[in-house]
Every structure is written in C-alpha cells, then in structure tokens.
Amino acid sequence: MTVLLALPVLVPVLAAGMSLLTRRHVTMQTASVVVLATVLADAVALLVLADRRGPLVLRAGGWDAPVGITLVADRLSALLLSVAVAVALAVLVFAIGQGAAEERPGTASVFHPAYLLLVAGVALAFLTGDLFNLFVAFEMMLAASYVLITLDAGEPRTRAAMTYVITSLVSSLLFLTAIALLYAATGTVTLAQLAGRVDSLPEGLRTALGLLLLVVFGIKAALVPLHFWVPDSYPTAPAPITAVFAALLTKVAMYAILRTQTLVFPRTDLWVLVAVVAVAAMLLGILGAIAQEDVNRVLAFTLVSHMGFMLFGLALFDVAGLTGTILYMVHHIVVQAALFLVAGLVVARTGTSALHRMAGKAAPSAVVALLFALPALSVAGVPPFSGFVAKVALLQAGVRHGTLLAYVLAGAAVLTSLLTLYAMSRIWHRAFLRTERPEAETTPAAGRHTGRPGAGRGAGSLMVGATAGMAVIGLTVALAAGPLADIGARASQDLLRPDSYRSAVLKGAGR
C-alpha cells in the first residue's frame, strides 16, 4: 500500500512532462483533469488507510531515514491532501471554462504543466518526512506559481509577481539557513529524528531555531506582520490562479508550522507569542478588508485575517485547540477558493473589480448570487455552515482552556466574525443588489478586469459548474462535521503524542 504515497507526487510530475509533448488543448485539458481525479482518489485512500492503520511510510529506493527520502502519510497530511486536491481539481475545471490556458496561442502548453507541478509540490509538502524535501516542495510551488501568475501578464501583474517571488526567495533563504543550523546542531533534517534530538539542545538555541522556522513559514502563510505581500500579489492574477494560491499555498505553510512546532518544538502550555499574533492577524486583517474598495483586495485581507483563527488553536497547544485549527484549515481551503472563483464570475459580468463601480453595472445572475452567499456566510461563521462548526470548536477550546489570554482569543474571534459578515455584506450590497440605475454600456469600466476578454457577457457553464462544485464541497464539510471532528481530534492527538509517527519513520533506522 505504501506505493500510494508516491502517486500524488509522481503522477502530476510525469503528466506535466508529457503535456509538454502535445500541442492539443483538449488533450492537455482532459489529461490534467484525469490526473487530478486520480490523485484525489489516491489521497482519499491514503486518508482511510492512515486513519485505520496509523502512519504510512514509503522509503524511496529502500533507503531508511535519514539517508533516503521518506514520504509519510498520517491522518493530518492525508486529510489536508484530500481536500487540497479536490479544490485544485475544481479550480482547474473553472480555469478550463474561463479559458485561462488559451488566452493567447501557446499559453496552454505552459499552463497545464505548471499547474500540475504546483499540485505535485503541494502533495510533496504534505507527505515529506524531512525538512530539506519540504524546502524542495516549496521551491516547486514557487517555480510553478511564478509561471502561473505571469501568464499573459502585463506590467502591473508582472510587478506584483516580482513582489511575490522576491518575498518567497527571502523566505527560502531563511529556510535554508534554518535547515543548515538544525543539521549542524543535530546531525539530521529528518523530522522524526529532530523530534528526539532538539530536546537535548540548550534552551536558548532551541527557542531561536523554533522562532526562525516560525518566521520562515509565517512569511509563506501571510501571518501578520509578514503579510504585506499578499494584498499586492494575489488580487492581480486571474481568478482561478488567485483561488488556488489563496486556498493552498498559505495552508501548506500553516501545515508546516503545525508539523514542525508540535513535532520538533513541542510545548506544554499556552503559546503567548502565537496568541498575540493570532489576535493581531484577526483584527488587523479584517479591518484592512473593510477599508478596501476592490473585491479581490477585500478577499485577500480576509484571507490574512482568518489565518489568525488557525493560530488560535495552535496557541492553545492542546487537543481541543488543534482540532479546531484542523477543522478551520479544511473549511478555509474550500471557502476561500470558492470566494475568489465567485469574485471572478462577478468581475467577468460587471467588467470591474471596484466595489463602488459594480453598483452601476448589470447585476450577476441569481445563481452567481447564491454561489457567493454560501461561502460568504460560511467564512463569517453563520450557522449551520462549515465556518460556524470550525469557529465553535475553537471557541469551545478557548473557553475550556480558561486563561485570560484564551478568553481574549475567543473575543477577538467573535469580533472578527462579525466584521467579516459586514465585509461580505458590503460585497453583496455592491455586487448583487441594484439600488442605482445601471450605467450605459458605453461607459468605460473602472477597476481591474481579471476575466478573459469578452467573458463579461456571461460566465461559461464550466465556470459556474466548478464554482457550484466548490459550494457543494463546502456544504459537505458542514454536513460531515461530526466525522471530520473525530478525524481532526485523532490527528491532534497524533501531533501532541507523535510516538507512532516517529516509530513508523524510524523503524529499522538509527535514532
């Protein structure tokens, strides 16, 4: 069964290479969809097996850790991989419908390989058992994302992409430094071995290394105050690219934070630093969203704000808190992608991303309005949607913790949810309610048009269908809240008591 661990990485990489050999758009589209559907089925199988049997380990070439490359699938990594690939598949269908790969001749031959490479990088990040291959995974995602964000780009998008790449490269340099320091101090970069060896380091060195990794992944996860690059980078890309970036890349970084800080740098009490960052992220991010007049920037700042909810559970550092964080990650991967896809449909219909200009344009259809309402109510935490379930889990964990800072976290979460509802209502009012007379068709559209030329006359059935699929996934997360919470609780217990993870990886190897 361990061969299943190789498929999520190997199949997209091979398919990306093979797609370079064909020039037929339909062939590439079909192949990409089939590949991601295959990877999704594989990820679900890994989740079922990991939940029943414990961590699954693949030792590439038969070499034991730390010499060989080790892939590990436990409950957390398999769960997040399944959700991530499902979202990537839906976004790919949306992109095909929008024609993001065919905006100019030859672009399709670059889009599909880059997109598949991005998914392979995400899979490797979730499954890798050592820090160096985690670095490789981030570089795969960086290379692919730079290609995607600059496809058919003009000067503004290229400038924004440079901000994204430079920030990512700085983070990568810091990551390499952290890896070198950890290897010099412990003699290994295998996570399972680091879990035992870091404990023997002097407390000051251990703290410094933990904080360095937190900064590295904090940049990639857009944690306040390291979030400055997101509002200027993500909103400039086409809707499907922005959706997959916002949904997956920041969550991969959050996964890396969870994995390293619980396995390598465990704690026994509330983490004050992360709690303060969580409160700052929630409040500053949502206040930034309210101040925006561009729908994509509103959603980008909302993304920054809601990363704070994931830090909420990590700061508590107990089973209940981490369960809430895992539930929130699953919810947010789906909902954030859905919001950006709907924003793409709205921009395509109105010809502008500026909220103050949308009121004077023709209203999107009732179907698009419904597709916005579902994820918008979910991200605001309105019952009975998935956001409500995840937030209740976090609030219960905070109240159960019983400390003053935990209550502050809970209060900030409630206030942020209310402000998020206000931010979503502003978009609803401007984009879907028409209290003003529509402008003449000859009036120039203001704001940035991120849709395909001519797409404003009506979104394609594939685009609407893919967005509807995202909404269905979000509703499924809410309906399956009980089983997901159970899996999340077991995954949290694995994080806090990683003996089974270490034993599975280091079986037959020197510790």
Number of domains in the chain: 1
Tokens standing for 231?
């509002």
pLDDT value at residue 159: 78
* Domain assignment present for 443: no
> Which helix (H) or strand (E) is 66 found in, with range?
none
User: Which residues are within 8 A (CB) of 176 and not within 5 positions of it... i.e. 6 or more apart?
Assistant: 135
* Domain assignment present for 444: no
* Domain assignment present for 482: yes
* Domain assignment present for 163: yes
Pairwise CA distance, residues 328 & 498, whole Å: 22
Lowest mean pLDDT among 25-39, 54-68, 95-109, 406-420: 95-109
CB atoms closer than 10 angstroms to residue 508: 7
Average predicted confidence (pLDDT) for the chain: 84
Question: pLDDT tier at 471 (50, 70, 90 boundaries)?
Answer: confident
Beta-bridged to residue 128, according to DSSP, are 71
Question: pLDDT tier at 401 (50, 70, 90 boundaries)?
Answer: confident
Digit-coded pLDDT (tens) for 152-176 = 767 777 777 788 888 888 899 999 9
In 3D space, the residue among 511, 303, 510, 286 whose CA is nearest the CA of residue 416 turns out to be 286
Digit-coded pLDDT (tens) for 81-129 = 999 999 999 999 888 887 755 455 455 578 888 899 999 999 999 999 8
In 3D space, the residue among 350, 388, 391 whose CA is nearest the CA of residue 369 turns out to be 350
* Domain assignment present for 133: yes
Give the three-class secondary structure for 73: strand
In 3D space, the residue among 496, 396, 386 whose CA is nearest the CA of residue 75 turns out to be 496
The winner for highest mean pLDDT among 96-110, 138-152, 326-340 is 326-340
Question: For the chain, what percent of residues have pLDDT higher than 90?
Answer: 41
* Domain assignment present for 446: no
pLDDT value at residue 200: 85
> Which helix (H) or strand (E) is 195 found in, with range?
helix 191-197
* Domain assignment present for 442: no
* Domain assignment present for 299: yes
Domain that holds residue 286: 2-435+452-506
Q: What angle do CA 473, 479, 482 make, to 5 degrees?
A: 120
Tokens standing for 296?
């994509």
The model carries a pTM of 0.89
